[in-house]
Structure 1
Amino acid sequence: MKRPLPDGTTHLLFTGLELLRRVASLVPPPRANLTRFHGVFAPGARLRPFLDPQAGEEEASVEPQAAARQEKRKEGRARVDWAGRRRRTFAVEVLA
């Protein structure tokens, strides 16, 4: 340990199961938010509405971005099935 405990303990010895229990307690529960916001950025803060952009400004800036995303999605190629990938990679006709 970096520093001795108040009772003078300088080392801790654990069995394998005890060590796993201590390490497992440090793992967060599934789907838990790991970022916590405090102060004005907290979800229930009274001043939080004043931090958000105004509705008119937000809509004007979001619309061009959304349109650009839609165009990019349309341009994407269709997925190639596994036989097509094998044919292209190894030059072997898998289904023959």
Structure 2
Amino acid sequence: MKAATIFLLYLACIYGASIPPKPCPLEKNCGKVDESSAVCGLDEEVGCIRKYPSKCHMDIAACHEGKNFTDYSEVYCSMEPYFCEKSYERWTILFGHEDE
């Protein structure tokens, strides 16, 4: 009996680690958004602000990145100099183009 229990625990450890995580929601479930629905969250690991089209979009991004954005507000969206830089550095801030 103990051997069977140990074997089952062994299998659970081996195969339990390969159970895929719960999938993140899809962006299409967020509905229509506009500039007034934008929300910005503080990425505490990097120390900058990330802008999202809506709280729904922010939650999906957090799910994909394995983060939990608890410090967010539409007020942060007015703090453009503190936005996280993209691969093209500060192009959007310098020339006023927004991400699409």
TM-score, length basis structure 2? 0.25
Task: Give the number of the structure whose residues are more often strand, by fraction.
Answer: 2
TM value normalised by structure 1: 0.26
Larger radius of gyration: 1
Instruction: Using CA pairs under 8 Å that are at least 6 residues apart, name the structure with larger relative contact order, 1 or 2.
Output: 2
